[in-house]
């Protein structure tokens, strides 16, 4: 019920922004974006998602060669589509990724471990990129004390959450969660029966951090480059909208949009809040409100298109899983 209420207010907020700025002005500005421009704008995210798939592949260790890059890319896109279309705070698709890896010979424990370590590397890289963006913002546009305090608080909160997440992994993520449920007197038979696998998962994660540090740093660097590559999309959108744009401002805007989106995760799809945040962000960089809302809507369109791609990947993978299961079933019955 709360999610539906937040979604309603998000839609209401988005409609209010569009009404305030003027639909005619937005359509006039958006008309500058022809098919070629949209193609150039959407192209950088192909590279971004490919780099993120590569960063994940690095954490698979000895199983990396068993999963082709194209398949891994499809699995990741399917998982991310589930992340953003289900009310699970961007983690609902992570177990799905490990599940889909099983058909390629990756045990569920190793699959889950790779998902956790990749998510950790990706989050650390994200915080680093946001920090770069905030520092550039202070240098390029200057800020008020209130903005400075808000930025410091946001980065501090992200950093604290990240340190806590990494510390919990060293202590034992799966078993820690199970013990927390036990303290709350909540017993889940599904997890209780898999206590040995949960202990193995914690051990696998710890072993990766201690025995494969160089690989983890390579993964971290790959994810940082992926975040940095989002700058190309920001630059392209502003360029084709006819706005003055430079590389450093694009880097800063790209990083701060991530902070805005992350800070509004509790609203389904960050609808309305994300667009409003983007408008305020671009206003602070000297752009018009029309440019800001058009920028926000173009990025929203890109998100929708990639969600559709992810859902198509999920349908393809599920269809392939059905074929494999039917083949195995037929073979067990002696059917040629």
User: Burial level of 324, CB count in 10 A (0-12/13-18/19+)?
Assistant: exposed
Question: Torsion over CA of 295, 299, 302 and 306, rounded to 10 degrees?
Answer: 170
CB atoms closer than 10 angstroms to residue 3: 11
Q: What's the distance, CA 164 to chain centroid?
A: 19
* Per-residue tokens: 296: 């926000």
**How open is the CA angle 40-239-30, to the nearest 5 degrees?**
80
Q: Say how many Å lie between the first and final Cα of the chain, rounded.
A: 52
pLDDT, tens digit only, all 336 positions of the chain:
666 776 667 788 778 888 878 888 888 888 888 899 999 999 999 999 999 999 999 999 888 888 889 999 999 999 998 888 776 555 678 888 988 998 888 999 999 999 999 999 998 999 899 989 988 888 888 765 666 666 677 677 777 777 777 777 777 777 666 676 667 767 667 666 777 777 888 888 888 888 888 999 999 999 999 999 999 999 999 999 989 999 999 999 999 998 888 777 667 677 778 888 899 999 989 999 999 999 999 999 999 999 999 999 999 887 765 533 433 343 334 333
Q: What's the distance, CA 36 to chain centroid?
A: 26
């Amino acid at each position: 019920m709360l999610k539906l209420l937040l979604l309603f207010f998000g839609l209401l907020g988005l409609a209010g922004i569009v009404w305030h700025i003027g639909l005619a002005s937005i359509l006039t500005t958006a008309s500058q974006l022809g098919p070629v421009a949209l193609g150039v704008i959407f192209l950088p995210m192909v590279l971004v998602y490919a780099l993120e798939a590569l960063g994940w592949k690095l954490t698979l260790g000895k199983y990396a060669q068993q999963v082709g890059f194209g398949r891994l890319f499809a699995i990741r896109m399917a998982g991310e589509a589930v992340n953003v279309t289900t009310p699970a705070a961007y983690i609902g698709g992570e177990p799905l990724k490990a599940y889909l890896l099983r058909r390629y010979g990756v045990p569920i424990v190793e699959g889950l471990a790779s998902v956790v370590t990749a998510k950790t590397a990706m989050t650390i890289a994200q915080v680093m990129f946001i920090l770069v963006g905030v520092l550039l913002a202070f240098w390029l546009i200057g800020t008020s004390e209130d903005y400075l305090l808000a930025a410091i608080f946001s980065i501090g909160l992200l950093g604290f959450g990240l340190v806590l997440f990494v510390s919990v992994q060293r202590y034992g993520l799966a078993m820690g969660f199970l013990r927390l449920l036990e303290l709350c007197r909540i017993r889940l038979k599904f997890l209780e029966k898999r206590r040995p696998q949960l202990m193995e998962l914690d051990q696998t994660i710890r072993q990766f951090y201690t025995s494969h540090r160089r690989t983890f740093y390579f993964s971290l660097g790959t994810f940082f480059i992926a975040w940095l590559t989002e700058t190309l999309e920001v630059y392209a959108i502003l360029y084709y909208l006819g706005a003055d744009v430079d590389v450093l401002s694009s880097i800063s805007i790209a990083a701060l949009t991530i902070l805005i989106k992350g800070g509004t995760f509790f609203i389904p799809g960050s609808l309305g809040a994300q667009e409003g945040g983007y408008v305020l962000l671009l206003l602070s960089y000297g752009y018009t409100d029309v440019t800001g809302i058009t920028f926000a809507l173009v990025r929203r369109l890109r998100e929708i298109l990639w969600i559709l791609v992810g859902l198509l990947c999920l349908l393809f993978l599920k269809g392939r899983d059905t074929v494999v299961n039917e083949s195995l079933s037929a073979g067990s019955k002696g059917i040629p």
